[in-house]
Structure 1
Amino acid sequence: MQQQIMPTLFVGHGSPMNALEDNPHTSSWRGLGEQLPQPRAILAISAHWYTRGTYVTANIRPPTLHDFHGFPPALYQCDYPAPGAPELTKEIQHLLQPLEVELGDDWGLDHGTWSVLMHMYPAAQIPTLQLSIDATRSPEFHYRLGQQLQPLRERGVLIIGSGNVVHNLARIDWREDAAVPSWAEGFNQTVRAALELGDHQSLIHYERAGHDAQLSVPTPEHYLPLLYIAGASTADDKVSFPTDGIELGSISMLTALFSPQAAR
């Protein structure tokens, strides 16, 4: 029986507190876990594993990393005990040749991964691993790695990129009625339109959006996971947006799902 082609997903994960909160965004993540085909394994590319070189986790039982500070004690008590996927590690190393992908035994699942998966797959039953983002490489390099990972979708692997299209901590507005600045809304809509049109060159060369891009992506680590997911998509996919919106004035919660047409 032929393996069902998995969708691929970019999630705007926002604050670590989303792990504990019930809001429209976390509700959409729970809905995705209920609606998507059950994956054989999950490969996550999180903004929070930003390295020199490319690494993949090889833990039999990856630890839950609390890679943040200053949050309530309940957040540090969160545990996401998903099993690892050592056999998938070898598949990834093979697919990404000739790039050398090293084993990241000192990493586990950071909050960019588990804060989302706690809602999507609360039973933590699906083998999960992470691929790091090489900070020394260009956006086009990361897009091409996504293309090389595309065959995993045919092998039952759900590829998830976790970051934020707009992520400027220096411009956060903590007021409940914080207005959304035009640069944040403008860049979020530019990216969403490029995704709808399949204009991946505009996604790769996001700096062409000028001032909006400079403020929305002051550093690239939260944006780059989107390029892996765009790269892993195909022309036969249909893109949808399970949730969207700008939180705290400068954090985009845009989530983009690429689904095979036959699966819809």
Structure 2
Amino acid sequence: MGLPPVHFFSHGSTMMLGEESKSATYWKQCGDEALAHNIKGVVMMGAHWDARGTNRIDVATNPDPQKSPVAYVHPSKYVDYKLVPDVSTGNRIVGMLNAAGLNARTNETFDWIHDTYLILIRMFPGRCPPTTIVSMNARFDPHLHARVGSVVAQLREENYLIIGTGGAVHNLYRNHWWQMLRHTDNFAMPVPPEAAMMEFRQSFEDVFLRNCKPGMRKGTLTSGVTRLMKHPQFRDAHGTDDHFMAACFVAGVIDASEGIADDGAVLGAEDWELVNMCNSQFTVGKWVSQAA
């Protein structure tokens, strides 16, 4: 049985749940592959939940979470989808993080937000697998989030699928909202994306694809991803830091997983939304190549 790959997904706007896209097709493909390999569960870090305090990370252990409403998406797309929280794995992850020196706590009241369940619905439309959601930390230290990823990386050996869901280029202040608000068309491109968005998008791709290949020194991907926060166009591409932390988390998982980077990274799909939002979908590792 092969070990699971690791995914960094750009979830985009809420309308990515309601509208068909290349990204949605790829998410479903990845979900089908995961089910075919009988994953034990999913561990996710999103972009819309952060814990306050130095080194504090919360882990969702609400046994019956509700869903926050999704704007511009018909309720039939998500209201009846049954969430399946993995409380026992959540408690275990808290122990793992605390043992690593982090201030991890369970959160028994957290209700899930579209950044995570949008991806789950697209990947697993038939039934949600047991899922654990790990929060960010509100200080948005990229190295801290990579460290969280390095701690949970060992769960891959037990056939857990690890996903970070944020954004490659995700700046709500720079998006063009008129076409979506007036015509419910999130994919309209009346003008090209701004040069800064294109530049950062290419740098993001370069970091993932060039630092995941045979012979790379361990830690190279984490160094590259965290260094992107000093990119001249980072603040153009990310008006806030929250949607970038999942990429740091994924980099930590990959660098702590023996051999996975040797299989390379692929840009599985990509959609531009609202002119300036680039939803890039990356996968590192392959099921087949890691078969025993």
Q: Give the TM-score normalised by the residue count of structure 2.
A: 0.82
**Equivalent position of 1:96 in the other structure:** 97
Q: Distance in 1 between matches of 2:125 and 2:73?
A: 21
**Conserved 8 A contact 2:2-2:290:** no
Query: Deviations for 1:158-193, whole angstroms, at most 9, x for unmatched residues?
Result: 111111121111111245223111111111110111
**Equivalent position of 2:210 in the other structure:** 197
Superposed displacement of residue 245, structure 1: 3.8
Is 1:262 paired with 2:284? no
**Conserved 8 A contact 1:167-1:252:** yes
Q: Which structure 2 segments of 5+ residues have no match?
A: 180-187, 212-219
The amino acid across from 2:259 in the alignment is D
SS in 1 for 2:48: coil
Superposed displacement of residue 94, structure 1: 2.3
The amino acid across from 1:262 in the alignment is Q
Q: Distance in 1 between matches of 2:116 and 2:231?
A: 28
The amino acid across from 1:204 in the alignment is T
**Equivalent position of 1:115 in the other structure:** 118
Find runs of 4+ consecutive structure 1 residues off by over 6 angstroms. Answer: none
Q: How does 1:120-199 map to 2 (within 5 A)?
A: 120-174=123-177, 175=179, 176-177=188-189, 178-198=191-211, 199=220
Q: Which moved more, 1:47-56 or 1:166-175?
A: 166-175
SS in 2 for 1:171: coil
**Equivalent position of 2:12 in the other structure:** 14
| Alignment size in residue pairs | 259
**Conserved 8 A contact 1:63-1:81:** no
Identity of aligned residues (%): 22
**Conserved 8 A contact 1:12-1:164:** yes
**Equivalent position of 1:217 in the other structure:** 238
Q: Which moved more, 1:242-251 or 1:181-190?
A: 242-251
Is 1:206 paired with 2:209? no
Q: Distance in 2 between matches of 1:40 and 1:72?
A: 30
SS in 1 for 2:108: coil
**Equivalent position of 2:217 in the other structure:** none
The amino acid across from 2:97 in the alignment is L
Judging changes above 3 Å, is the alpha-carbon distance between structure 1 residues 112 and 263 closer, same or farther for their aligned structure 2 residues? farther
- Out of 215, 236, 241, the position equivalent to 2:259 is 236
SS in 1 for 2:58: strand
Q: Which structure 1 segments of 5+ residues have no match?
A: none
Query: Deviations for 1:81-133, whole angstroms, at most 9, x for unmatched residues?
Result: 12211110122112212212111122132100111111110122411121110
Q: Give the TM-score normalised by the residue count of structure 1.
A: 0.90
Is 1:44 paired with 2:44? yes
Backbone CA RMSD of aligned residues: 2.1
